[in-house]
């Protein structure tokens, strides 16, 4: 926290703050000097409050990554201490006049003018009456929390975010609003954030859909969960909620609706905790259960997404959303090698720039008849490789198959209850297998679209390297201990695909 150095000048006492190097670069100023207009303990207290407000503003500027007006942020932090933004007054004498004053200084000047006003306006109330009126008529200080949240979400939806990201932001901001009174945004502070954190610590996972909490308000859910003694959200999930709120608050700071972000500098996890692995790959016995031929015939033979997408995750390391939004046209032959393009073109999206890549199809997938399946889908007029829940899904591409895999196949059919495994563990398994074979982080990252830690690994791999990537992906896929799998039969999914076409529900998947 910046510490104040008190300066005595002929005009009074001043507080001087040495700005951190990164903030100096943004403002071109080494020191920030402000008058205290007081002496003794009152001056020292005000200087300490200024230092705390500056620390909060500096943290907000750093979290925003340079998107905020640095000088305005620092000035706003000081002003919020000297003249709190929420103190406005309205003095009204019916039939005579109305005077509005912003902040204590303006209010004091109005009080000083009373003697003059009383001399020219007969019957004007005395100072005592004016003070009573001002105390009872506080002006609203800008938009309310709920109004600002509504505008933020409208803005956020216009920034071309992925559907799942938009939904997550809406959920977190709406939950905060549901648990917080509709106060003026300017009054929002650490106490409201603390109350939200406490509520999250009691909030049951998936509370909105659990029968015990269905139809209850957010506050009622928290109260009932506390009574029942149920555990709340994990630290990692709570941190995600706070990260989304932090974006909302930074936006509000930019619009001058908040003096500073009340979440600036607040973290529930250290970086070490955040990046500690909470998931793992599948063990050999788990792979045997998940890909058991009899179980696959029972669970997967009637739905192309269930049949193919887990295999994509395991044999190529593709993310669930990447596989689910593939188009038939994404399958292509490059340098004599069949593979699929993962891009963010059109309605599709990718996690980051490193995710855009060409992934060779391993022989294990080709042997299962992937190209025959793609030809059948194309013949029926579909553009999507996996019609039935791709790009337009409410919770993002692959939501339907992800829920089926985690709840029906993994937990129910296979009896695997360890929360450290989920659909994403197919990707973990692929990456771990590549590491065991001695491939470098960059070599595996070129296949999975994973951002490597080393600068040398962050590069685009051109078509001339495709045969080498094909060799690596074949070796990784061949090393995975999966039972012999039944291949795709021509026309196997004709019935369900024609059903999609007839229902018109998958028009967005049709070419």
Q: Which residue has the higher pLDDT, 446 or 173?
A: 173
Q: How far apart are CA 449 and CA 356, in angstroms?
A: 7
% of the chain exceeding 90 in pLDDT: 24
Q: Which residue has the higher pLDDT, 406 or 271?
A: 406
pLDDT score at 405: 93
For residues 302 and 42, give the distance between their C-alpha atoms in angstroms, rounded to a whole number.
76
Q: What percent of the chain has pLDDT over 70?
A: 72
Q: Which of 117-121, 136-140, 279-283, 389-393 has the highest mean pLDDT?
A: 279-283
Average pLDDT for 326-330: 90
Most confident of 141-145, 419-423, 454-458: 419-423
pLDDT computed for residue 371 by the predictor: 93
- The tokens describing 180, both together, are 């917080």
Ranking 191-205, 332-346, 366-380 by mean pLDDT, the lowest is 332-346
Residue 161: band (very low, low, confident or very high) from pLDDT cuts 50, 70, 90: low
How far is Cα 248 from Cα 253, in angstroms, rounded to an integer? 9
Q: What is the pLDDT of residue 484?
A: 92
How high is the pLDDT of residue 478? 95
Residue 149 pLDDT > 90: yes
What tokens were used for 418? 């360890």
- Segment 68-92 shows an average pLDDT of 58
The residues near 99 (Cβ < 8 Å, ≥ 6 apart) are 90, 91, 92, 110
The model's confidence at residue 410, banded by pLDDT at 50, 70 and 90, is: very high
Asked if residue 507 has pLDDT above 50, the reply is no
Q: Where are the domains of the chain?
A: 4-82, 88-136, 145-274, 284-509
Q: What's residue 394's pLDDT?
A: 61
What is the spatial distance between Cα 495 and Cα 490, in angstroms, rounded to a whole number?
A: 12
What whole-number distance in Å separates Cα of residue 198 and Cα of residue 322? 36
Token pair belonging to 281: 């790959």
Positive or negative CA dihedral for 189, 190, 195, 198? positive
Whether the predicted pLDDT of 87 surpasses 50: no
pLDDT at 232: 81
Alpha carbon of 344 to those of 310, 352, 384: distances in Å? 21, 9, 14
- Which helix (H) or strand (E) segment holds residue 14: the answer is strand 12-18
Pairing of the two strands 357-360 and 12-18: unpaired
pLDDT for 177: 93
Chain segment 449-504, per-residue pLDDT in tens: 765 443 333 334 456 788 889 999 999 999 999 999 999 988 888 888 877 766 65
Tell me the pLDDT band of 508, cut-offs 50, 70 and 90.
very low
* Topology of the domain comprising 284-509: hpI Integrase; Chain A (1.10.443)
Q: Where are the beta strands (DSSP E) in 343-409?
A: 357-360
pLDDT at 90 over 60: no
Confidence of residue 288 (pLDDT cuts 50, 70, 90): very high
DSSP 446-488: HHHTPPPSSGGG-S---GGGHHHHHHHHHHHHHHS-----PPP
Whether the pTM exceeds 0.85: the reply is no
Mean pLDDT estimate for the chain: 78
Window from 138-147, 197-206, 242-251, 254-263 with minimum mean pLDDT: 138-147
Rounded mean pLDDT, 279-300: 92
Dihedrals phi, psi of 39, to nearest 5 degrees: -135, 170
**Is 73:253 a contact under the CB 8 Å cutoff?**
yes
């Amino acid at each position: 926290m910046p510490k104040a150095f008190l300066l005595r000048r002929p005009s009074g006492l001043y507080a001087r703050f040495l700005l951190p190097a990164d903030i100096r670069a943004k403002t071109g100023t080494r020191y920030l000097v402000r008058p205290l207009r007081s002496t003794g303990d009152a001056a020292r207290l005000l200087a300490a409050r200024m230092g705390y407000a500056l620390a909060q503003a500096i943290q907000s500027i750093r979290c925003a990554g340079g998107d905020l007006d640095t000088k305005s942020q620092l000035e706003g932090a000081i002003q919020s201490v000297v003249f709190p933004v929420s103190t406005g007054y309205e003095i009204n004498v019916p039939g005579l006049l109305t005077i509005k004053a912003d902040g204590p200084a303006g209010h004091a000047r109005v009080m000083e003018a009373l003697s003059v006003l009383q001399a020219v306006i007969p019957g004007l109330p005395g100072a005592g009456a004016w003070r009573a009126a001002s105390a009872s008529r506080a002006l609203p200080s800008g938009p309310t929390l709920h109004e600002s949240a509504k505008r933020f979400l409208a803005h956020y939806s216009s920034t071309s975010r992925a559907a799942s990201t938009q939904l997550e932001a809406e959920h977190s901001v709406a939950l905060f609003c549901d648990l917080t009174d509709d106060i003026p945004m300017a009054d929002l502070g650490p106490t409201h954030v603390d109350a939200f954190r406490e509520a999250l610590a009691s909030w049951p996972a998936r509370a909105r859909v659990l029968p015990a909490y269905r139809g209850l308000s957010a506050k009622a859910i928290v109260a009932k969960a506390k009574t029942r003694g149920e555990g709340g959200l994990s630290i990692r999930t709570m941190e995600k909620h706070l990260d989304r709120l932090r974006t909302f608050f930074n936006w509000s700071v930019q619009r001058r609706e908040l003096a500073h972000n009340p979440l600036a500098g607040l973290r529930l996890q250290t970086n070490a905790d955040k990046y500690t692995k909470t998931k793992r790959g599948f063990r050999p016995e788990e792979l045997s259960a998940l890909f058991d031929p009899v179980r696959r015939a029972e669970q997967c033979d009637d739905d192309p997404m269930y049949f193919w997408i887990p295999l994509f995750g395991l044999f190529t390391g593709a993310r669930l959303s990447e596989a689910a939004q593939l188009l038939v046209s994404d399958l292509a032959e490059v340098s004599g090698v069949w593979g699929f393009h993962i891009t963010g073109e059109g309605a599709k999206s990718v996690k980051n720039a490193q995710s855009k890549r060409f992934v060779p199809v391993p022989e294990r997938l080709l042997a299962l008849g992937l190209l025959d399946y793609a030809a059948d889908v194309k013949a029926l007029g579909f553009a999507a490789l996996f019609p039935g829940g791709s790009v337009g899904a409410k919770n993002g591409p692959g939501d339907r198959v992800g829920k089926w895999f985690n709840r029906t196949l993994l937990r129910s059919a296979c009896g695997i209850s360890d929360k450290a495994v989920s659909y994403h563990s197919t990707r973990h398994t692929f990456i771990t297998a590549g590491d065991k074979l001695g491939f470098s982080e960059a070599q595996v990252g070129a296949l999975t679209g994973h951002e490597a830690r080393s600068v040398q690994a962050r590069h685009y791999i051109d078509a001339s390297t495709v045969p080498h990537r094909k060799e690596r992906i074949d070796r990784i896929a061949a090393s995975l201990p999966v039972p012999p799998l039944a291949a795709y039969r021509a026309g196997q999914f004709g019935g369900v695909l024609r059903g999609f076409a007839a229902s018109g529900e998958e028009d967005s998947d049709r070419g």
